[in-house]
């Protein structure tokens, strides 16, 4: 019953914007740390942004360009991506964990228990 479903991916030109959505079911996003991760061609999966009790975390390369937000009423997490660059091209996945140990911080994929299938973002 626990599901995370991403949407909003697609193609954008460099400098453009996209907004990704992650709709959760089977649990409340308000009681979890939520994260966005991405994996580009030939690259390792990396943590993009996380939201935990109102605190936001970002990888260095997206600071000032991407914004993570949460709508508890809709049980949805968003990733607003502005000033897109070709290097942002990747499969973006949403993830959640109720109680993280945080050995490696909130952008570590190993902390997260629930994962969505992902949505593709292509920037040309």
- pLDDT tens per residue across span 57-108: 999 999 999 999 999 999 999 999 999 999 999 999 999 999 888 889 999 9
pLDDT in tens, 52-62: 989 999 999 99
Residue 45, both tokens: 């999966």
Amino acid 99: pLDDT: 85
Strands (E), the chain: 3-7, 10-12, 18-25, 33-39, 46-52, 55-58, 66-71, 76-81, 90-97, 114-115, 119-123
Q: CA-CA distance, 61 to 27, in Å (whole number)? A: 30
Terminal Cα-to-Cα distance of the chain (whole angstroms): 37
Once rounded to an integer, what is the mean pLDDT over residues 40-63?
96
Residue written as token pair 């994929």: 109
Residue 8 gets which letter from DSSP? Answer: -
């Amino acid at each position: 019953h626990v599901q995370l479903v991403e949407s909003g991916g697609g193609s954008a030109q460099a400098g453009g914007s996209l907004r990704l959505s992650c709709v959760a079911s089977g649990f409340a996003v308000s009681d979890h740390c939520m994260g966005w991760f991405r994996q580009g061609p030939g690259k390792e999966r990396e943590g993009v942004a996380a939201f935990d009790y109102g605190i936001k975390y970002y990888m260095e390369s997206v600071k000032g360009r991407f914004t993570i937000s949460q709508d508890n009423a809709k049980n949805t997490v968003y990733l607003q991506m502005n000033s897109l660059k070709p290097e942002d091209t990747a499969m973006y996945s949403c993830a959640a964990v109720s109680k993280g140990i945080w050995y490696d911080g909130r952008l570590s994929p190993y902390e997260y228990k629930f994962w969505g299938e992902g949505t593709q973002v292509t920037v040309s």
